[in-house]
Structure 1
Amino acid sequence: MPCKLLLAALVCIWLQRCEAGRQMPKLSDKKLCADSECSHPILIARALQDYYPGDCRFIPIRQGQLVYVYAMLKDRGNLFWAGSVQDSYYGQQEARVGHFPSSVVEETHPLMPATTEVKTTKWDFYCH
């Protein structure tokens, strides 16, 4: 009996590790950024509504939060952007870059023009 419990525990641990890092389908083949590494924010936006992500490629957003936008996915009518949420209290939320629908935010402050077209890679849609 102890061997069966140990085997079941090992299988659970193995399944969790398989889920931790996986390639997800691409949302786009290209993105628009301020620079070739997409390291500078394009604009600051404010969330119009709460957004609850469907999978790990996306970030949760609460109404009123500020979002720093780093990339705009180019295919499919610019429906998704990539950015990071700024919480109302510094350090309250771990900074994480992810995707979200552009329709849940409104642009508040343009920072840099998104004129550099960059190809997306598998790491743009990899779940950690």
Structure 2
Amino acid sequence: MRCRLWLALSAWLLLPASDAGRHMPKLSDKKLCADAECSHPILIARALQDYYPGDCRFIPIRQGQLVYVYAMLKDRGNLFWAGSVQDSYYGQQEARIGHFPSSVVEETHPLMPASTEVHTTEWDFYCF
């Protein structure tokens, strides 16, 4: 009985520390994409430095990695972009889309113009 109580209390204490499974504050109300679904990459960028995310809305990036940018958040001076990082060895790291500061990457290959303005939803900033 005592073990079950300790286990339940431990699980309860860990829940508030996790961002997973909840909506986070929106970083922007609008984003610029190549299409209405933001399904085509706008550009390829290379990471200038390591970036360690502050919460689950963001993705970690290592210096030198290629980042496929799918959206540029419009408010607040284009500070954040959304994209995907794939490791140099296929299968080593699962591709995941998330946000990152635009200042940690440099554009290397433009692919499509970011000419479609799309409203963000709460699901753009949901933590899984």
TM range, smaller chain: over 0.9
Which sits farther off after the overlay, 85-94 or 63-72? 85-94
Gaps of 5+ in 2: none
Contact map agreement 2:36 2:117 (CA 8 A) in 1: yes
Gaps of 5+ in 1: none
Contact map agreement 2:86 2:94 (CA 8 A) in 1: no
Structure 2 equivalent of residue 91 of structure 1 = 91
Aligned length: 126
Structure 2 equivalent of residue 82 of structure 1 = 82
Structure 2 equivalent of residue 126 of structure 1 = 126
Q: Which amino acid aligns with 2:90?
A: Y
What pairs with 1:40-119 in structure 2 (closer than 5 Å)?
A: 40-119=40-119
Q: TM-score, normalised by structure 1?
A: 0.92
Structure 2 equivalent of residue 31 of structure 1 = 31
Q: Which amino acid aligns with 1:103?
A: S
Structure 1 runs of 4+ aligned residues shifted over 6 Å read none
Offset, 1:13: 3.5
Q: Sequence identity, in percent?
A: 83
Partner SS state of residue 77, structure 1: helix
Offset, 1:8: 2.7
